Amino acid sequence: MHIRSREKAVTANSLDSFIYQTDMSRLIILLFVQALCLSVFSGNITKKYKTHNTERGTVYFIMPQKMDKASGSTAQKELLFDVTSLITTDSIHVTATISAKEPVTDSLVTIRTADGHAITAPAEFLYRELGKKGYVNRVRFGMLRSDFKSLFAAPSSFTLDYGKGYLFAFPKGKWVKEQELVNSILGLMELNR
């Protein structure tokens, strides 16, 4: 009987040791990947997103980014957008500002990749303000995080189409930086899940 309890104690200690080592290994890998992500984006990634802890989990907020008007766009300015995602869900929400001569009325947004793939999402109208040169429209739409991630894995920019000729895309030079930023933040989200 004494030998069995000693074996159980040895097994329990071995298991505790294994769990501790596994947790430490995971922590070291997590810290290494986070450091790598930070260095990939020249250390400025922390200024590009925020996190907030809530009862439902951690919310990641990617600070406002700009997409240029695409060729043939009828929009007055570039698109200003931000991204929010609750880490415990598989979705992201994009909130965008569209400046145009007319009010934005379409309730769908279509995102097209260079290879012809398209994602269509219902858009929620938030508000509209009349400015000096037209309307400032604020809209929101959601999509699966995996779809959002695939958009930023492509070799060239996608085009965001909000109807009535409101087209937006990243220019080549800006696309690489935007890819690095979004992919680094999405990587951190996956690690911290």
pLDDT tens across 136-170, in order? Answer: 999 999 999 999 999 999 999 999 999 888 999 99
Q: Looking at residues 47-62, what average pLDDT do you find?
A: 94
In this structure, what DSSP letter does residue 47 have?
A: G
Q: Could you give the count of Cα atoms lying within 13 Å of 85 in the half-sphere of its Cβ? A: 25
Instruction: For residue 110, give both structure tokens.
Output: 């279509």
Please tell me whether residue 169 adopts helix, strand or coil conformation.
Answer: strand
Q: Looking at residues 7-24, what average pLDDT do you find?
A: 59
Instruction: For residue 90, give both structure tokens.
Output: 């598989």
Q: Which residue type, as a one-letter code, is found at position 101?
A: K
**Predicted confidence band at 39 (pLDDT cuts at 50, 70, 90)?**
very low
**Predicted confidence band at 15 (pLDDT cuts at 50, 70, 90)?**
low
Instruction: For residue 100, give both structure tokens.
Output: 């145009």
CA distance 78 to 73: 10
Tell me which of 17-21, 38-42, 179-183 is least confident. Answer: 38-42
Please tell me whether residue 134 adopts helix, strand or coil conformation.
Answer: coil
Q: Looking at residues 117-130, what average pLDDT do you find?
A: 94
pLDDT computed for residue 107 by the predictor? 86
Q: Which residue type, as a one-letter code, is found at position 103?
A: P
Query: Could you give the percent of the chain with pLDDT greater than 90?
Result: 63
pLDDT higher than 80, residue 9: no
pLDDT computed for residue 42 by the predictor? 47
Instruction: Give me the sign of the Cα torsion angle 50, 34, 36, 169.
Output: negative
